Amino acid sequence: MHAVRHTLTFWILALIAAVGTATDARAQSAAPFSTKRLQTHVAYLASDLFEGRAPGTRGAQLAAKYVAGELSDLGIEPAADDGSFYQRVPMHAGKALPSSRLLVLTDDGDTTLALGEDYVLLRTGVETFVPNPKPLVFAGYGIAAPEYDYNDYQTIDVANKIVVALEGDPPSDDPDYFNGANPSLYANPDAKRRLAMARGAAGTVFVPLPDEITSWDRVRDDFDFERVRLAYSAASHLSLAINPDAADILFAGSGVSIDDLAAMKRENRVRSFPLATSMSFAGEFLRRDFVDANVVGLLPGADPDLADEYVLVSAHYDHLGVGPAVEGDSIYNGALDNAVGVAGVLELARALKQNAPRRSVLFILTAGEEKGLLGATFYVDHPIRPLYKTVANVNVDGLATFGEPVNFVGLGGEYSTLGETLRRVASRLGKRVVETPPLFERNDAFARSDQIAFASAGVPSIITIDAPPFKGTTREESVARIDRYMGEIYHTPFDDLDQPIDYDAAATHLELLRAFVLEIANADEAPEWYEGAPFVHARLLSRAEGE
């Protein structure tokens, strides 16, 4: 899953901890879900035939057709505006070529940085061109946060210059100051890029400190795939991330090194200052325009008074496609990310169809999640059903597949009454909802998949993830399984059908989701954001505008 690549940390780590290994001889789960059908769906979607399901490819088209056909066979109604299952999503893709030229000019001469080895581009296209060298200026973290009386731009002018900024936000032990030890919304590189653009900057360069990046090779490989955006996206500018090993050249003549910056961060004395260097960029790209599709289906509600309200159940069907070969394999199949989740939604549709709830259920299998939540963003920009009548989003990005789940986390449940509903449902099923593990908090996991797009549009949203320990294992064993997946399998060609997948565990997870969706869809009262949640205003606005 992935979602928008908000930080370099996220490019290496991921939301999905509820995936993994280990099957056993347990009997068929008591849940009303067929592990055989789950396995069949995954076997299709994660097969080499589907070529990793990258946006704008034959594999993605095959996946969309497969999902639409399955929904049709289940008797789920097509929900797109044209009467089909396909909500068309126009996209633009670009991939930088090694012949692209990034030049850093210093008093001692010019240095050409190598694409991939020294930097990766966060944006592609003609808007990234900087034909004439622009001065560089260091803007701390690149943040302006008036509620914290913090402004990296207060003492510098960045108009027509390129902003250099550290990844993340100011360190703090106070949860009321930049979210304490966890990243705040200000840490989002895209938010920093937009702020720099608003102040007239010609580009942004993000600098991860050496101790904040697990492997530059992982970042480089991740960005070897083409960058994709919605065709109508607003203009951007040059935006890149630099390898910490190459970052000192940016600070030549300033008397500050990358090690000095690391010390400044540790001691909380990061400051902004002009640099003595400048930068130009002439990119060469492979570009293409294409149309992908969200697959959308409707299960009409059984209660005439509530049928025009909708519970949105989502999962992304895309993955990375074909990329750098690892041990001779170049197909990034995405079995657990997210063929398993798509299979789960198809089985949820089957189960819910047997006894339709009071509210309608809208199933959406999104395109382009891995490229920046593109399908979900397109949907909220062009909703098929009014957002103010969409009472909740339950997103499925991975299922429990490490082992029999006992504990679950409801990411986003702290913002709305959905969290309490999930706890109540889990308790009935003999499961527990536990506090969000520190790993998820540190990486702002709620913002890592499609649920954040729906939440930002005002729809109360949640994603459920199983948490260690798993039944019959110690916490250490459970965490080791997660670590192995994250370190060796996630976003590699090894996320394929050769890994063991515990489909009984997935069925147990689906039983929780089925009961949870039914509880939402049958309740007299719709879920609501808690006062003070960051998405309340968007909800009020959509209701006021009737959208």
What pLDDT does 444 receive?
A: 67
- Cα–chain center distance at 277: 34
Residue 386 to residue 405: CA distance in whole angstroms: 35
For the chain, give the longest Cα–Cα distance.
75
2 within some domain: no
Q: What's the Cα-to-Cα distance from 266 to each of 59, 170, 262, 270, 433, rounded to whole Å?
A: 46, 9, 6, 9, 35
Same domain, 400 and 367: yes
Residue 274, classed as helix, strand or coil, is: strand
One-character DSSP codes across 398-425: ----SS---EEEEETGGGBTHHHHHHHH
Same domain, 419 and 387: yes
Same domain, 254 and 115: yes
What pLDDT does 27 receive?
A: 32
Instruction: Determine which helix (DSSP H) or strand (DSSP E) holds 321, and give its type and residue range.
Output: strand 321-326
CA torsion sign, 70 to 76 to 79 to 83? positive
- From 266, 283, 300, the end of a domain falls on 283
CA dihedral 371, 375, 378, 382 (to 10 degrees): 180
Residue 369 to residue 341: CA distance in whole angstroms: 13
Looking up tokens 């990766």 gives 120
Same domain, 363 and 226: no
Query: Domain limits at 275?
Result: 98-283
Same domain, 51 and 25: yes
Same domain, 274 and 377: no
Report how many domains make up the chain.
2
What pLDDT does 439 receive?
A: 56
Same domain, 147 and 65: no
320 within some domain: yes
Same domain, 277 and 292: no
450 within some domain: yes
- From 226, 248, 283, the end of a domain falls on 283
3 within some domain: no
Q: Cβ-count burial of 108 within 10 angstroms (0-12 exposed, 13-18 middle, 19+ buried)?
A: exposed
1 within some domain: no
Residue 529 to residue 541: CA distance in whole angstroms: 13
- From 283, 318, 341, the end of a domain falls on 283
Same domain, 87 and 138: no
What pLDDT does 404 receive?
A: 93
Please, what's the b/e burial string for 472-499 (b: 16 or more CB within 10 A of its CB; e: otherwise)?
ebeeeebbebbeebbeebbbbbbbbeeb
Same domain, 309 and 274: no
CATH number at residue 418: 3.40.630.10
Same domain, 257 and 294: no
Same domain, 111 and 208: yes
CATH number at residue 189: 3.50.30.30
CB of 497 closer than 8 Å to CB of 46:
yes
Encode the chain (547 residues) as per-residue pLDDT tens digits. 443 333 333 332 332 333 333 333 333 333 479 999 999 999 999 999 999 999 999 999 999 999 999 999 999 999 999 999 999 999 999 999 999 999 999 999 999 999 999 999 999 888 899 999 999 999 999 999 999 999 999 999 999 999 999 999 999 889 889 988 777 878 889 899 999 999 999 999 999 998 777 689 888 888 889 999 999 987 679 999 999 999 999 999 999 999 999 999 999 999 999 999 999 999 999 999 999 999 999 999 999 999 999 999 999 999 999 999 999 999 999 999 999 999 999 999 999 999 999 999 999 999 999 999 999 999 999 999 999 999 999 999 999 999 999 999 999 999 999 999 999 999 999 999 998 766 555 556 788 899 999 999 999 999 999 998 999 899 899 889 888 998 899 999 999 999 999 999 999 999 999 999 999 999 999 999 999 999 999 999 999 988 7
